Structure 1
Amino acid sequence: MSPAVAPPSFPESLSAAIAARGVTLRELVDSLGARGHAVSLSTLSSWRTGRRRPDGAASREVVEALEDVLDLAPTTLSSLLGPSRRPGPRDTTPYSVGGEEGTAEALRALGMSDPHALVESSSHVVLDVDLTGRVTRLTARAAWLARTPGAHHAPYFVAVDTPAASSSSTAEAAVATPHAADGAIPALEPPTIRAVAGCTIGATHHRAETGLFAAELRLHRPLETNETVITEIELSGMLGGPDEPGWDLMVTRRQRVLALWVRFDPRRVPRTIHAITHDARGSVRRRVAAIGPEAHLLQPGFGPGTAGLRWEW
């Protein structure tokens, strides 16, 4: 009697479907965003490798959208998830950079009992990209509004680069991706973060396998309701690799101004650059002309949604 063959798991089926379609994780992020499902690159990577599984209602909706994007029959992937371990209504937390479970874990680690007390009203992010194509520094200036009296801290999330997140097979990516001597993928060090002005850095949280990094921004004093403050922080280290060239800003509330400024090494400027935005009005992709070794995206009155830049060498 032949032994029973175990059915494919969700990660195996997802990986096979991605390979069959010949798409990158970045392309999947864009396609899902165009359908109204904002999901990060690190979340898709963790699903594909089996480090995490889609469990909440919102995550399962993304899986159903993946079936459509990957030209799969309905329930091909969703039927492999089994019953949810967290039944109930959709999670209403505004933060989902690292997936619902990863975000909730990070908020607990930061001691954020009320992450809504201080909300971002404007954001300006500057990225520095080196000669190899890696994002090595991020500077973020933000204006915050206190929604409750006594608001004194806020979480800041970044989905940083992980070797497992790579979906490229180019020689450049293979050379740039760090590996241990035995071929195993090493755990990456978290980025270095420092406060430049307006706050100090409190607790931090990092999950190397998913790339999620979170930090607590502590204000110099508690704010009164509707009082505002401006903060500036800087992150450095391995933030983004050449295998997935681009950067997204995910905002969960309307921003007065959302700005992304990317500064490339003058010796290597991308061949093409595109701005991509996803919000309730739909998805827009447009060509962006570099000004010297720099490119930017400026979105007044934007959000909730995602906005970012993609470049090709």
Structure 2
Amino acid sequence: MSATAFSAALRGAISTSGLGLDRIQARLQERGISISVTALSYWQSGKRQPERQSSISAVRVLEEILDVPAGALLGLLPPPRPRGASSRRRLDEPAESGGVIAAFGFEEDASPALVGLHDLCDVDAEGRCVMVTAKAVLRAGTSGHDRWVLRYRRAEPHSRPPTLRASRNCTVGRTSFDSCEGLLLAELLFGHGLDNGETQLVEYSLSFEDTDSAAHQHFREFSSPVPEYLVEARFAGNTRPERSWQFSHPETGQPETRPLRVDNGNTVHAVAVDFGPGRFGIGWSRPG
């Protein structure tokens, strides 16, 4: 893709700001925006353009960081490029569209509702999230639910898929990973059908072997309101970040952040109640 008015304006704004791409990425991350340095480089060179809603939101924040008038960059974005009707396209669709469910060949209501989720992130001495242990509580809306489709998006696109392990009340079925989007889809199979209104507690873990690209944040995207989401980050040994914060990006409304305090167990946590659709998570700086 050749240079566009958007890429030229972004490149000029970055040059004028005097900020490096690493610093811009860090400032975006402080506001709960996950954009890799590679993506920023592609945007300013014209190799790629922001298209997903999360990328459009990032451009709005970029305008503030680079101190350019609101709309100065957004107004230059060309129309989204057309895509085919392949399974890759379905994976690119936002979670709220139901397209990711269709990618596995069944309807949205074939998966039970998420009513509670607890994520525990293990963070190494370099501040990188190396594993997430998750407990999910699911409720069947009709009889017969026998699986749940996990949708997990990595903070860093163009990364390798995490290693998924089922540890309680489920086994791993079909999986698919879109490396460009950093999106993992996986079936967690219960081994039996649920009755209408019955709940199922499942536990699983996600390990990240490519720690060079492991992010200093963790978040979940919810396509519908979830009654409770608890997320923790546990820091290795005596290391702790200089700063940590929670962030929320509701589908409608303004993004919000607030600082978090590291507790005596060397962890930080945040809780979202009746949150969604949108993105909620926590971030932390590199250990001092």
Q: Give unpaired runs (5+ residues) of structure 1.
A: 1-5, 34-38, 87-95, 166-186
The one-letter code of the counterpart of 1:297 is: A
Task: State the SS of the aligned residue for 1:150.
Answer: coil
1:248 correspondence with 2:219: yes
Tell me which residue corresponds to 1:275.
Answer: 246
Task: Find the aligned partners of 1:234 and 1:243 in 2 and give their Cα distance.
Answer: 16
Q: Secondary structure at the match of 1:291?
A: coil
SS at 1:49's partner residue?
A: helix
Q: Which residue of 2 aligns with 1:82?
A: 79
Between the aligned partners of 1:300 and 1:284, the Cα distance in structure 2 is: 15
Q: 1:16 to 1:150 in 2, by over 3 A?
A: farther
2:146 aligned to 135, 144, 152, which one? 152
Larger deviation, residues 199-208 vs 234-243: 234-243
Deviations 1:124-174 (A, max 9, x none): 001111122221111111111222333232221222354xx6xxxxxxxxx
Contact 1:258 1:298 in 2 (8 A): yes
Residue 109 (structure 1) shift: 4.2
Give matches, 1:215-234, under 5 Å.
215-234=186-205
* Counterpart Cα distance in 2 of 1:236 and 1:194: 8
Q: CA deviation at 1:20?
A: 5.0
The count of aligned residue pairs is 267
Aligned residue runs from structure 1 range 99-118, under 5 A: 100=94, 106-114=100-108, 117-118=111-112
8 Å CA contact retained: 2:246, 2:259: yes
Provide the C-alpha distance between the structure 2 equivalents of 1:142 and 1:19, rounded to a whole number of angstroms.
45
Q: Secondary structure at the match of 1:158?
A: strand
1:287 and 2:287 aligned = no
Corresponding position: 1:297 with 2:280: no
Aligned 8 A contact 1:277 1:307 in 2: yes
Counterpart amino acid of 2:135?
R
Match among 168, 171, 194 for residue 200 of structure 1: 171
Q: Distance in 2 between matches of 1:153 and 1:300?
A: 25
Match of 1:8 among 4, 13, 24: 4
**Aligned Cα RMSD in Å?**
3.9
Q: 2:227 is matched by which residue type in structure 1?
A: R
Does structure 1 retain, via aligned residues, the 8 Å contact 2:91–2:100? no
Match of 2:60 among 57, 60, 65: 65
Q: Secondary structure at the match of 2:190?
A: strand
Does residue 307 (structure 1) correspond to residue 280 (structure 2)? The answer is: yes
Aligned to 2:209: 238
| Number of the residue aligned with 1:140 | 134
Name the CA shift for 1:302/1:108 in 2 (closer, same or farther; >3 Å). closer
What SS is found at the alignment partner of 1:238? coil
Segments of structure 2 that go 5 or more residues without pairing to the other structure are: 84-89
- TM-score for both structures, normalised by structure 2: 0.72
CA distance in 2, matches of 1:294, 1:63: 28
Q: Secondary structure of the residue that 2:108 maps to in structure 1?
A: coil
SS in 1 for 2:60: helix
**Paired position in structure 2 for 1:36:** none
Give the partner amino acid of 1:49. Answer: Y
Distance of aligned partners of 1:136 and 1:84 in 2 relative to their CA distance in 1, 3 Å threshold = closer
